[in-house]
Amino acid sequence: MKVCLLAYKKISSSKKYYLNLVDELKKRFDNVLLANIENVVLKVDSTGLTKIFYKNQRLDDFDVIVPRIGPSYVNFWQLVHQELKENTYIPNTPDSYKIANNKFLTLMKLNEANIPIPKTILSIDIELAKKKLNEIGEPLIIKQMRGSGGRGVIFSQDLKSANTILDALPHKSGEEIFLEEYIPNPGEDIRLFVVGDEVVASAKRVAKKEDIRSNIHAGGAYENYTPSGEMKRLALRAAKKIGADICGVDIIEGPDGPLVIEVNMNPGFAISDVTGINIAKRISDFIYAEANLFWKRKRNKLLYDKLSIKWENVVNNIIRKFNFEK
């Protein structure tokens, strides 16, 4: 089988992890190409077909596509995914990218599945947001989703500060403001790495002393952590609900139990370093098994379609020969 590992320009900063994934895929598949999504083009013309090219190759020539797509590529990736998914094995659903890329949509979906989440109000108007602060209570978190890695996440001890913060926020029309219940915790969150029906690795991310954001980019650090069965089940339910096979589920342990704060479709592999778990191997095992299943089903379906056409022809011939009415 021919595999395309479709990644984006972050490849250069996490090269060792990508190369490890390529190595693991090569142990299972005949042909593996590491490709940059920026070299992909989609083309529509009067043929009625959408053609997708990676450089001079048709992307549908690959039997398997493994996406490692960052948030700003999601709209483009969704078009590619939607178009290729019938005839190429691709983990995750196109919708899972759309959902995870929108933190509020993620919370809506998790809420539908009765997965515990922090109480959150979404507004696009500063004045209205100020009026809603008391529905969240204090302390609270204000999020304005600009960038990632903890940027745009503001902690406010009380409603007075929250009012002044909202007034001082640079805000463009239509820009979303999250008011979120603060989950009391010592600046820690738990990342559970889901592959298929398993949580294959987990680690705690601990914020630096003067912060509440545990993001590695905000100075947080990974620590070893063993999640409870309840927490693992929660992560698996969250992944299933949004349609993700491979993702990172971020959970905060609140005083009344764990709450899911977000799902990440492009979870970093650095968690391998703290856990000693070869994430690339686990992902490759999963993809190999699922791709084989996909192609087996596809071959069976083709055979079935061929047989049913033949059978239809036989019946039609009998009808014609004996002049039966259908």
| Binding region for ligand ATP (CB under 6 A) | 118, 141, 143, 148-153, 180-183, 189, 212-215, 250, 252, 261-262, 264
To the nearest whole angstrom, how small is the minimum distance from the Cβ of residue 85 to ligand ATP?
24
Nearest approach, Cβ of 191 to ligand ATP (angstroms)?
A: 9
Q: Is 129 helix (H, G, I), strand (E, B) or coil?
A: helix
| Nearer to ligand ATP among residue 186 and residue 307 (C-beta) | 186
Residue showing the smallest CB distance to ligand ATP in the complex: 148
Residue 181: CB minimum distance to ligand ATP, A? 6
Q: Which of residues 181 and 245 has its CB atom nearest to ligand ATP in the complex? A: 181
Residues 6+ apart with CB under 8 A from 223: 203, 204, 205, 206, 274
The CA radius of gyration of the chain, in Å to the nearest whole number, is: 24
Q: Which is nearer to ligand ATP, 84 or 263 (CB)?
A: 263
Q: Which is nearer to ligand ATP, 40 or 239 (CB)?
A: 239
The rounded distance, in Å, linking the Cα atoms of 6 and 52 is 13
Q: How far is the CB of 171 from ligand ATP (least distance, A)?
A: 18
Closest to ligand ATP by CB, 98 or 281 = 98
Residue 41 and residue 76: Cα distance in Å, rounded? 10
Q: Which of 13, 53, 11, 176 is nearest to 105 (CA)?
A: 176
Between CA 243 and CA 249, with CA 247 as vertex, the angle to 5 degrees is 100
C-beta of 326: minimal distance to ligand ATP in Å?
A: 59
Instruction: For ligand ATP, give the closer residue by CB, 215 or 278.
Output: 215
The CB-of-288 to ligand ATP minimum distance in angstroms stands at 29
Closest CB to ligand ATP among 243 and 254? 254
Rounded distance between C-alpha atoms, residue 300 and residue 81, angstroms: 23
Going by C-alpha positions, the residue among 231, 236, 247, 250 that lies closest to residue 107 is 250
Secondary structure (3-state) at 66: strand
Letter string b/e over residues 56-88, b meaning 16 or more CB atoms within 10 A of that residue's CB:
eeebbebbbbbbbbbbebbeebbebbebbeeeb
CB 297 to ligand ATP: min, Å: 34
